[in-house]
Amino acid sequence: MLIDKVRKYSDKEKYDFNCSERMLFAASDEYGLNVSEDAMKAMASFGGGMGIESICGAATGAISVIGIIFTKDRAHATPKVRELTIEFMNKFQDKLRTHNCDELKKEYKDEVKGCGHMLDTAAIILDEIIIREKGE
């Protein structure tokens, strides 16, 4: 399950990923995505709510996975990606009441687990969508 991989990458001393990187690394591992090093690096700028505590990095990391798995060539050729992204973001907000990094940190960030609650929530929702869509 994706949540197990997300938790695997929580070791700050070993990995030291931001939430967005962690989600993509975990998903690449779980789903065998073989995501390029450049794609992994691209996620660096989405941590901390894109540096301004806007949209949660766990969420942006998760929707990047939707794009990687379901996009055929480009976004406009794959309207399903937009639908799945909206579904993910709505479910994430329904579970946590917001997708704003600053608000989520105030509500859920833990001294020991950091943003683990947001990452776990994102992993559960993303896994459900991917399993359903792939018919597994």
Mean pLDDT of 71-83: 92
**Predicted confidence (pLDDT) per residue in 49-60, tens digit:** 999 999 999 999
Structure tokens at 133: 């869509």
Share of the chain above pLDDT 90, in %: 87
Mean pLDDT of 101-115: 93
Q: What's this model's pTM, rounded to 2 decimal places?
A: 0.95
What backbone phi and psi angles, to 5 degrees, belong to 73? 70, -55
Q: Tell me, what's the pLDDT at 21?
A: 96
Q: Tell me, what's the pLDDT at 73?
A: 87
Helix 101-108 / helix 79-96 crossing angle, nearest 10 deg: 40
Q: Tell me, what's the pLDDT at 11?
A: 85
Where residue 136 falls among pLDDT bands split at 50, 70, 90?
A: low
Where residue 131 falls among pLDDT bands split at 50, 70, 90?
A: very high
Do the beta carbons of residue 21 and residue 61 sit within 8 Å? yes
Q: How many C-beta atoms lie closer than 10 Å to residue 120's C-beta?
A: 18
Cα(75)–Cα(82) distance, rounded to whole angstroms?
A: 8
- pLDDT at residue 113 greater than cutoff 90: no
Nearest to 115 by CA among 37, 51, 69, 59: 59
Q: Tell me, what's the pLDDT at 3?
A: 97
Q: Tell me, what's the pLDDT at 12?
A: 83
- pLDDT at residue 135 greater than cutoff 90: no
